[in-house]
Amino acid sequence: MGKRNDHSRILIYSHDSFGLGHLRRCRAIAHALVQRDAHMSVLILSGSPIIGSYEFGARVDFVRIPGVIKLSNGEYTSLSLKIDLEETLAMRASIIEHTASIFDPDMLLVDKEPLGLRGEIKGTLELLKDRGTPLVLGLRDVMDEPGQLAPEWERKNVVPALRDLYDSLWVYGLPQICDPLEGIDVPRSVRRKVSYTGYLKRERSGGRLTWNPPFNRPFILVTPGGGGDGEDLVDWVLRAYEQGGPLPHPALIVLGPFMQLERQNDFMARAAAVDDVEMITFDSYLEDLMGEAVGVVAMGGYNTFCEILSFDKRAVVVPRERPRREQFMRAKRADDMGLVRMLPVEEVADTGKMIDALISLPDQRRPSEVMVPGLLDGLDRVHALVGEAIADARASAVAYPRRQTA
């Protein structure tokens, strides 16, 4: 299919088996691209079951592929459809490849998983590679400990894809903070494809809050992200308010849509009995709530970390350490630099630790007081890299036109 010179199409793939991180990152990138370029459209391929809960701006749309979910034993199963996993994966791969073929993007941006869930986008990568479409892998600042990531990538046969299929690897962070490929044996040719963008700066939606905190003074936002593994954090904060007496600020706790209903109900009942604690399940404009908050207590996933930096919030981070060490590695490095304060999750039984952290939160430094050049340049840099990739591909197509086959 012929490429358009007056308008660009970007296809973003996100496997989204669980949680909010991948979807929120892809959505932020998509909106930033179209806001910076009136001649660009972005289509997101996602398996997120709640993608329809988010609003998308002009020239950004999504295709929802059948969902899967990762079980506690590490295996996957179909999320809603009562069919075999292999059938679900075959449907997903077919939808992805057909969409890519018809949409005919000027660039494909893959989020985190080089070959997709169980290799489902390999065929799409090969299809677009043959068309001369730039293929880019976007990586968050931290993936996992090398001892965990290396065997995972070997099992998934990732390195040949990085070497032979992808044109570029974009790391949404800075090397002086984290290097996601540290300790991973990859060829120099792959290393040369890496560009660091800085973190992805977030902005408030500009609209009214969808839920107004009923506090007449500054409050702390408590967020475990999607909530699927945030029970320890919520319990720790609740115990602090239950036992700690008056604390400097009230707390708004957003449980997350993936927390088990039984646990949600238990937490809601406890919060109703505590002064200075309000609790909701989900808000699709969490960035607006964070913008209003005086401080943050969070698990410290990538998106939350970006928002803490973007809104310059004093933060206490309680990172998970299983099944991945990603959050811990990020939080530890950020704590060492003075960007946030980290509380190890193994100290969760010590209510006094959280009480002390909440009392001292107003005296913490703000992230802006730590000078890190280029820290929040990510979205501007991604936009520039997209433009360069498309321009190079179009110039190459003119210089070396592909022979049309019947």
pLDDT at 211: 67
pLDDT at 51: 83
**Same fold across 8-201+376-399 and 220-369:** yes
Number of neighbouring beta carbons within 10 Å of residue 118: 18
Please compute, for residue 179, the number of CA atoms within 13 A of its CA located in the half-sphere on the CB side.
9
70 forms bridges with which residues in the sheet? 76
Which overall architecture, per CATH, does domain 220-369 show?
3-Layer(aba) Sandwich (3.40)
63 forms bridges with which residues in the sheet? 45
Q: Where are the beta strands (DSSP E) in 81-187?
A: 107-111, 135-140, 168-172
Cα dist from 389 to 12, 19, 166, 177, 183, whole Å: 15, 30, 12, 26, 28
Per DSSP, helices labelled H in 122-229 are 122-131, 146-155, 158-164, 188-191
pLDDT at 17: 59
Number of neighbouring beta carbons within 10 Å of residue 109: 27
- The segments of the chain whose pLDDT lies below 70 read 1-4, 16-20, 69-77, 79-80, 206-211, 402-406
Whose CA is closest to 62, among 41, 83, 78, 90? 41
DSSP state of 109: E
pLDDT at 3: 55
pLDDT at 26: 94
**pLDDT tens track for 223-276:** 998 877 889 999 999 999 999 778 999 999 999 888 999 999 999 999 999 989
| HEC profile of 325-343 | CHHHHHHHHHHHHCCCEEC
Helix (H) / strand (E) containing 195: strand 194-196
Query: 3-state class of 169 per DSSP?
Result: strand
64 forms bridges with which residues in the sheet? 46
pTM comes to: 0.89
pLDDT at 2: 47
pLDDT at 402: 62
Q: Provide CATH code, domain 8-201+376-399.
A: 3.40.50.2000
Domain ranges of the chain: 8-201+376-399, 220-369
The tokens of 350 are what?
Answer: 């010590």
62 forms bridges with which residues in the sheet? 44
